[in-house]
Amino acid sequence: MRLRFWAAILAGKGAYHLSRITGGRGSSLPGLVALRLFPEMLGAFARQARCGAVMVTGTNGKTTTNNMLAQVLEAEGARVIANREGANLVTGVTTAFIRASGLGGRVGYDWAVLEVDEAAFPRVAEVVRPRIVVVTNFFRDQLDRYGELDKTVSFIRSTVAKLPATKLVLNADDPLVAMLADTGREALFFGLGAPTRGEEAQGTTREARFCPYCGQEFTYDYYHYSQLGAYRCSGCGFARPRAQVEALSVQTLNGVTRSVVRVRDEVLTLTLPTPGFYNIYNALAVFGAGLWLGVAPEKVAASLHRYVPATGRLQEFVYKGRPIYLNLVKNPAGFNESLNLLTASPEPKDVFIALNDNDADGRDISWIWDVDFERLENRKEVLRFICAGRRAAEMALRLKYAGIPVQKIETCSHFAAGVRRALEGYGSVVYLLATYTALWPVEKILRRLATEVNGADSVSPVPRSS
110 counts as catalytic: no
Share of the chain above pLDDT 70, in %: 93
Q: What is the reported pTM?
A: 0.87
Helix (H), strand (E) at residue 169 = strand 167-171
Closest residue by Cα to residue 293 from 181, 169, 162, 177: 169
Do residues 40 and 109 touch, judged by C-beta distance below 8 A?
no
Q: How confident is the prediction for the chain on average, in pLDDT?
A: 90
Burial zone of 321 (CB within 10 Å; 0-12 exposed, 13-18 middle, 19+ buried): exposed
Q: How many CB atoms lie within 10 A of CB 258?
A: 14
Do residues 220 and 230 touch, judged by C-beta distance below 8 A?
yes
> Residue 461's pLDDT is what?
37
Catalytic residue among 364, 370, 372, 457: 364
CA distance 374 to 302: 39
- Of 204-213, 237-246, 410-419, 443-452, the least confident: 204-213
Do residues 176 and 393 touch, judged by C-beta distance below 8 A?
no
CA distance 316 to 326: 6
- Of 3-7, 97-101, 110-114, 158-162, the least confident: 3-7
Do residues 324 and 399 touch, judged by C-beta distance below 8 A?
no
Q: Encode pLDDT of 131-158 as tens digits.
A: 999 999 998 765 544 557 888 899 899 9
> Residue 142's pLDDT is what?
56
pLDDT band of 205, cuts 50, 70, 90: low
> Residue 343's pLDDT is what?
87
Can you tell me the mean pLDDT for 306-326? 89
User: Both ends of the chain: CA-CA distance in Å?
Assistant: 27
* Beta strands at 245-253 and 256-263: parallel, antiparallel or unpaired: antiparallel
Can you tell me the mean pLDDT for 412-420? 95
CA distance 245 to 286: 10
> Residue 1's pLDDT is what?
66
Q: Encode pLDDT of 163-192 as tens digits.
A: 999 999 999 999 999 999 999 999 999 999
* Beta strands at 429-434 and 349-354: parallel, antiparallel or unpaired: parallel
Residue 438: half-sphere exposure toward Cβ, Cα within 13 Å: 30
- Of 8-17, 57-66, 158-167, 169-178, the least confident: 8-17
Q: Encode pLDDT of 332-355 as tens digits.
A: 988 998 998 888 889 999 999 999
- Of 90-99, 240-249, 290-299, 328-337, the least confident: 328-337
